[in-house]
Structure 1
Amino acid sequence: MGGFLGFVWNQWTYKPKPLDQDKSLAGKTILITGANSGLGLEAAKELASHKPAKLIVTVRDPAKGEAAKAQIIGNNAGIEVEFWEVDYESYDSITAFGKKVLALDRLDYALLNAGIKQMQYTTSKAGHESNVQINHIGTSLVSLQILPALQKTARIAGQPSRLTIVSSEGHFWIPFKERTAENILLRMDDKETFGQQMNRYYTTKLLNVLWTRELASKVNQNEVIINTVNPGFCYSGLHRHEKTGIIKIFLWALAWTSQQGGHCLTDALVNHPDSHGKYLSEQKVVPPSKFVLSEEGRKVQTKIWNETMELLRKEAPGASFPTFEE
C-alpha cells in the first residue's frame, strides 16, 4: 500500500463493489456533505436505494440541489431528501448548520465528503490557504458540530452511529515539510510552502487522517464509529483545476468510475464495525502511511489537534465544542 506501483496495481485489478442488496437502512437518517455531484452524488444515490427514512445532502449553491435531488430519488419514491446549505469557508455557516443538525430527531450516519483540489495558491474568505480551509479546518469544524447529534442518536438507538471522513491514498506520498514548524497550520498559510501540483491537496488529506485518528481516540466507539476512507482515483469534478494533459492520460489508463468511488464511500460508512479510528482503502481496513503510524506521526497528530482546536475557538467563537474526557 502507498507506493506508486501498488496504486497502479490496485486501480487496475480491484473493482469496488456496491453494498449488498439486502442491506437495509430503513428508519435511518443520513447526512452527506458535498453530494450534489461526483462521488458524493453517486454515494447518495446508492444509499437512497437502501431506503433510509431521510437523506440530507449539503451544498454551497442551493440552485444546484434540485437536479441532484431528482437523480438521488430516481426510482426511490418516498425517500425524504433535503438539501441544506453550508459553506466551509464561513464559520457562521457551519455553526448554523451544526445547530440545525442537532435539532434533528436522529442522525445515524454522516459522510464528510466535501473538499477541493486547488492547484494554485489561493486564500479562503477566512484568510487561510484554500485547500487547508476547506479540506481540513472546515471539515474538522463540521465533524465537531455534528458529533453531539450522532452521540444522541446512539444513546437512543442503543447502537453506534457512524462518521466517515474522506481522505486519499495521496497522504502516503507527500513530504509534509511543514510538520516541523512551530505552528503547522500557520506555516501552511505561507505561499512559499504551497509546493508543486497536488502536494498541498495531499497534505490536507494527511491532515484528515490525523484528525480522524485523534477524534476517534476521544470518542467511545460504542457511541460513534469514526473512520476515514480512500475512495480511489476516479473520474470526478475534483480534477477540474488540473490543466495539464497528464491527468487525462492517468484518468484514461487508471481511473475508476464515479460510481465505483461512491461504492467505496458507502462501504466505509455502513460496513466494517471494527474500523473505529481506522483507514480504509479498496473496501477494507488497511494501515495508513508509515509516517502516521510512527512516533513522530503520533506527536504531529496531537499537535494538529491542539492547533486546530485553538484556531477554531479563536475564529469560530459562536460554535459549540464537545467536551472530551482526557
Structure 2
Amino acid sequence: MGGFLEFLWNQLVFKPQPLAASKTLEGKTILITGANILDIPCTCTTLLRLGLEAARELATHAPSLLILGVRDAKKGETAKQSIQETSPDVAIEIWTLDYNSYASLIAFANRAASLEHLDYVLLNAGIKMMEYQVSNGGHETNVRINHLGTSLLSLLLLPNLERRANVTGTPSSLTIVTSEGHFWVPFHERRRYYTSKLLNVLWTRELAARIDSKEVLINTVNPGFCYSGLHRHESTGIIKIFLWLFGWSNEQGGHCLVDALLEHEDSHGEYVSLQRVLSPSNFVISDEGEVAQKQIWRETIELLKNEAPEADISSFDD
C-alpha cells in the first residue's frame, strides 16, 4: 500500500462489500460522529458523509440505539429521516457536537456517560481544508479538528466503553477514521489534511498500546477515495476528475467503515484498509515513527490538559 499506482489500481479493482445480512446488532448501542448531510448552496448539490452511509448500513442490522453526533442538529434530523426510510424501527438520536470546541466535546462525552451501555464508537467527523486556516483556539484547522478533537473525544469515551466490556466480558470497539494519504506526507510538514491523518494513525497506535484489547478493541480505518462531502473545499479540477474516474461511492466507503468497526478481532492498534488489516506507512512502523508516536502522545496529552483542564484525562499521564 502507499504507492500512487497501487492506489489507483485498488480504487479501480477492489469493490468494498457490505456486512453480511446475517449479522445482528440487536441490543447494541452505536455512536457515530460526522454522519449528517451536507448542503452546498452554491451548486445546489447535496453531498453525503461516509458516516451517514455507515449509519444507514448499521441501522439495517437492528441495533437497539444509533446515536449520530453532528454539528448541525437540523441536518442531523434530515439524516435521521433518511435512515429511517429504510430502517423505520431503529431508535436514532441526534446529539450535537462541535470538534472545534472543547466544551462541546466534554458535554458530548458526559452525555454518553449516562448511557446504560456503549458498544461501538466510530469517530468519523473530520475536515479537509486546502488552505492554511487557524482555528478558534489558535491551531491549524485540520490539526485542531482531525487530531486534537478526535484525540480528546477518544479519551473521554473510553471509560464508558471499558465499563461495558467489564460487564459483558467481551470487548467494545473504537474505530478512528484516517486516510491512505498518511503514506504521502513528509512528517516535517506541519499542517494540512494529510498530516492530521498521519497523526490519527500514530495516536491510535499509542492509545491501543495503553488499553487492553480484551476491554476495548481500537483500530484505525482508511475508507478509500470516495466522492463525499470531505472534498468540498477542493479548488482544483484535477481532484474532481480523479473522483469521477477512480472514486468509490459513499456507500462503498461506508462499507469500509462498518467493516473496520465490527469485523476484525485481530486489529487492535492496526490500520484497516481494503477491508483487511494492512501495514501503515513505512514511517509509522520505523524506529523514527515509534519515537514520533510517543512524542505525539505526550505533547497531545499535555496540550489537552492545558487547554481543556475541565476534561478528566489525568489517568492517561505517563
Shorter-chain TM range is over 0.9
- What TM-score does the superposition give when structure 1 sets the normalisation length? 0.92
Identify the residue that residue 93 of structure 2 maps to in structure 1.
Answer: 82
Identify the residue that residue 21 of structure 1 maps to in structure 2.
Answer: 21
Helix, strand or coil at the partner of 2:181: helix
Q: Give CA deviations for 1:38-96 in whole Å, capped at 9, x if unaligned.
A: 21100000000000000000111111111100111223222110010111111111111
Helix, strand or coil at the partner of 1:143: helix
- Is 1:268 the counterpart of 2:279 in the alignment? no
Identify the residue that residue 45 of structure 1 maps to in structure 2.
Answer: 56
Helix, strand or coil at the partner of 1:128: coil
Q: % of aligned pairs identical?
A: 61
Shift in alpha-carbon separation, 1:221–1:215, aligned structure 2, 3 A: same
| Mapped partners of 1:278, 1:323: distance in 2 | 23
User: Where does structure 2 lack aligned partners over 5 or more consecutive residues?
Assistant: 38-48
Count of aligned positions? 307
- Conservation of the 8 A alpha-carbon contact between 1:214 and 1:301: yes
Shift in alpha-carbon separation, 1:322–1:155, aligned structure 2, 3 A: farther
RMSD: 1.1
Q: Give CA deviations for 1:157-183 in whole Å, capped at 9, x if unaligned.
A: 1100000000000000011115xxxxx
Identify the residue that residue 64 of structure 1 maps to in structure 2.
Answer: 75
Poorly superposed stretches of 4+, deviation over 4 Å: none
Identify the residue that residue 114 of structure 1 maps to in structure 2.
Answer: 125
- Is 1:241 the counterpart of 2:252 in the alignment? no
Larger CA deviation: 100-109 vs 65-74: 65-74
Identify the residue that residue 130 of structure 1 maps to in structure 2.
Answer: 141
Helix, strand or coil at the partner of 2:15: coil
Deviation at 1:235, TM superposition (A): 0.6
Helix, strand or coil at the partner of 2:174: strand
- Is 1:105 the counterpart of 2:97 in the alignment? no
| Mapped partners of 2:170, 2:85: distance in 1 | 30
Identify the residue that residue 145 of structure 1 maps to in structure 2.
Answer: 156
Deviation at 1:252, TM superposition (A): 1.0
Deviation at 1:22, TM superposition (A): 0.4
| Mapped partners of 2:276, 2:287: distance in 1 | 24
Identify the residue that residue 183 of structure 1 maps to in structure 2.
Answer: none
Identify the residue that residue 45 of structure 2 maps to in structure 1.
Answer: none
Deviation at 1:323, TM superposition (A): 2.1
Helix, strand or coil at the partner of 1:177: coil
- Is 1:167 the counterpart of 2:155 in the alignment? no
| Mapped partners of 1:129, 1:135: distance in 2 | 10
Helix, strand or coil at the partner of 1:154: helix
Letter in 2 for 1:219: I
Larger CA deviation: 283-292 vs 75-84: 75-84
Q: Give CA deviations for 1:213-234 in whole Å, capped at 9, x if unaligned.
A: 0000000000000000000000
Q: Give CA deviations for 1:255-302 in whole Å, capped at 9, x if unaligned.
A: 000000000000000001000000010000000000000000000000
- Conservation of the 8 A alpha-carbon contact between 1:219 and 1:324: no
- Is 1:35 the counterpart of 2:35 in the alignment? yes
Q: Give CA deviations for 1:100-121 in whole Å, capped at 9, x if unaligned.
A: 1111100000000000000011
| Mapped partners of 1:271, 1:40: distance in 2 | 17
Identify the residue that residue 274 of structure 2 maps to in structure 1.
Answer: 282
Deviation at 1:126, TM superposition (A): 1.4
- Conservation of the 8 A alpha-carbon contact between 1:148 and 1:322: no
| Mapped partners of 1:322, 1:222: distance in 2 | 22
Deviation at 1:324, TM superposition (A): 4.6
- Conservation of the 8 A alpha-carbon contact between 2:301 and 2:317: no
- Conservation of the 8 A alpha-carbon contact between 1:144 and 1:322: no
Helix, strand or coil at the partner of 1:323: helix
Helix, strand or coil at the partner of 2:93: strand
Identify the residue that residue 302 of structure 1 maps to in structure 2.
Answer: 294
Letter in 2 for 1:106: H
